Amino acid sequence: MTTVVITQPMYFPWVGLISQFALADVLVWLDDAQFTRNSFTHRVQTKSEGKQRWLTIPLQHKGSRHSIIQLESASPDWYIQHVEDFSMSAEGSDYLADALENITGMNTTGSVCDRIIASAQACFSAISKTTPNVRTYRSSEMEVDGSGWRRILDLVHAVGGTRYLTGHGAANYLDHAAFEAEGVTVDYMGYDFAPWPQAHGAFSPYVTSLDLIAHVSPQDRFRHLSTQTIPWRDFLTSKGLPINR
């Protein structure tokens, strides 16, 4: 079985996405998808005291008429502010330097899309037990046209996938039966994280995975990821959704 994960690029993403990477044989970055304003493509939440804070890449274009690979930054040195902001968020954590090293790694050449993808891959490398052995593609280079679930299925076929592992939002648009009819199993992630020490209140897994890197030793980070997956029929049933689609 070849497990495929397909996702839009996300800036220093939460541990849910890193968990998907850890279970994948193939990862496809959906980099030619249309950019959505205020999405997780260019921003991610951090822990803070008193209010919600975000690490956000400032963009030249505020609308949603551009694909992700077309994004341009309003300030090429955004990482400098992010170092300061995350230092405040994770102040006093034992491995803060490890996390900050990933942020300063954004001081590289390449497009905004390149640097967003690099941020996610850096987190995966910092959390994974071993060197990641995942085949990686970009949809913009694959010559697979179409839209919606049909394109997702065609991308899975294009990389030889037999299992599609996805996050919960896909329940709203996937034609699960069509995947099965074409020999592709669909499973959903089950987010069963082992909590790690955090500052600023109760534990939340919905922050940047930099938070895990900052608070947990390299040898222990991987065990905080989720390894649970749920067959699509069981998942839809648990959410009260019809399974005849």
Distance CA 5, CA 19 (A): 11
Q: What's the whole-number average pLDDT of the chain?
A: 92
Residue 60 exposed, middle or buried by CB count within 10 Å (0-12, 13-18, 19+): exposed
> What is the pLDDT at residue 131?
57
Residue 131 exposed, middle or buried by CB count within 10 Å (0-12, 13-18, 19+): exposed
Per-residue pLDDT tens for 132-145? 678 999 999 999 99
The residue that leads in pLDDT, 192 or 244, is 192
User: Does 71 reside within a domain?
Assistant: yes
End-to-end CA distance of the chain: 23
Expressed as residue numbers, the domain containing 181 is: 3-238
User: Does 244 reside within a domain?
Assistant: no
> What is the pLDDT at residue 51?
75
User: Does 80 reside within a domain?
Assistant: yes
User: Does 195 reside within a domain?
Assistant: yes
> What is the pLDDT at residue 75?
86
Q: Give the Cβ contact number of residue 124 at 10 Å.
A: 21
> What is the pLDDT at residue 234?
97
Residue 185 exposed, middle or buried by CB count within 10 Å (0-12, 13-18, 19+): middle
> What is the pLDDT at residue 106?
84
Identity of the highest mean pLDDT range in 32-36, 178-182, 200-204: 178-182
User: Does 245 reside within a domain?
Assistant: no
Q: Which tokens sit at 69?
A: 């690979």
User: Does 119 reside within a domain?
Assistant: yes
Structurally, the chain folds into a number of domains equal to 1
Query: What is the mean pLDDT of the segment spanning 226-245?
Result: 91
Paired sense of beta strands 43-46 and 53-56, if any: antiparallel
User: Does 228 reside within a domain?
Assistant: yes
Q: Position of tokens 């592709």?
A: 184
Distance CA 113, CA 185 (A): 30
User: Does 243 reside within a domain?
Assistant: no
Per-residue pLDDT tens for 94-131? 999 999 999 998 887 789 999 999 999 999 999 987 65
